[in-house]
């Protein structure tokens, strides 16, 4: 699931996603004071657009230049900075974001956990980490063809890194807010929301 994989995926289709924000983001971020947000795996820009429209200054990162071109079109005239960035090689600025948001982002598990640690460290004092993944329990085998979901970090692994100075505000499985993507059997999400001490 490298840059070529994602460019091919986006390039084979017109718009892949709905253009709407993820429902969990809307529910969890609605009560947050807007500031700087990092939208990880921003894709075609639905979440970045919603955040910017609600007062956030957004940095969106993605591996796919095709997706970023679509996000630029959607987010034009909004305070959104879209970057082609591999977080495993180039972590975000530490302590820079009032919200770090990852929704269904396939972050590959790696020795040393540099990308995972970098995303946690990117949350500013008083800021929020929001990680949403598919609940894989109860699903037979795995969906996705040539990759194993077990190769990618899950929200619980982010939670395990949060020590002193963090308050976990939500950590569990809940029914999906949005309909599952076509062709998948995902009925529930795993949601982690944590706040860093100010």
What CATH code is carried by the domain that includes residue 164? 3.40.50.150
Residues 18-69 pLDDT 10s: 568 999 999 999 999 999 999 999 999 999 999 999 999 999 999 898 889 9
- More confident of the two residues 186 and 196: 196
d(CA 88, CA 6): 16
> Is residue 16 over pLDDT 80?
no
Number of domains in the chain: 1
- CA distances to 6, 35, 133, 174, 175 from 106, rounded to whole Å, are 11, 25, 9, 20, 20
The whole-number pLDDT of residue 142 equals 46
Q: Residue 133 corresponds to which tokens in the numbers above? A: 């993944």
Lowest mean pLDDT among 9-23, 47-61, 170-184: 9-23
User: Which pLDDT does position 172 carry in this prediction?
Assistant: 92
Residue 154 has pLDDT above 80, yes or no: yes
Q: Mean pLDDT throughout 66-84?
A: 94
Per the structure, the complete domain to which residue 98 belongs is given by 3-196
Q: Would you say 92 and 119 are in contact if contact means Cβ atoms under 8 Å apart?
A: yes
Whether 49 and 21 have beta carbons less than 8 Å apart is answered as: yes
Confidence (pLDDT) at 183: 59
């Amino acid at each position: 699931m490298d840059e070529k994989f994602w460019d091919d995926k986006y390039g084979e289709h017109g718009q892949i996603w709905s253009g709407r924000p993820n429902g969990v983001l809307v529910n969890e971020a609605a009560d947050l004071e807007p500031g700087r947000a990092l939208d990880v795996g921003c894709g075609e820009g639905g979440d970045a657009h919603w955040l910017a429209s609600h007062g956030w200054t957004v940095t969106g990162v993605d591996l796919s230049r095709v997706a970023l071109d679509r996000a630029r079109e959607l987010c034009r005239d909004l305070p959104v900075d879209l970057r082609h960035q591999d977080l495993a090689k180039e972590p975000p600025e530490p302590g820079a974001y009032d919200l770090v948001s990852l929704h269904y982002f396939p972050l590959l598990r790696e020795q040393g956990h540099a990308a995972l640690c970098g995303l946690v460290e990117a949350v500013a004092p008083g800021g929020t980490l929001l990680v949403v993944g598919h609940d894989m329990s109860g699903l037979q085998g795995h969906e996705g063809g040539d990759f194993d979901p077990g190769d990618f970090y899950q929200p619980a692994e982010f939670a395990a890194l949060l020590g002193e100075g963090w308050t976990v505000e939500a950590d569990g499985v809940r029914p999906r807010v949005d309909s599952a993507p076509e062709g998948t059997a995902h009925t529930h999400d795993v949601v982690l929301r944590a706040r860093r001490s100010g």
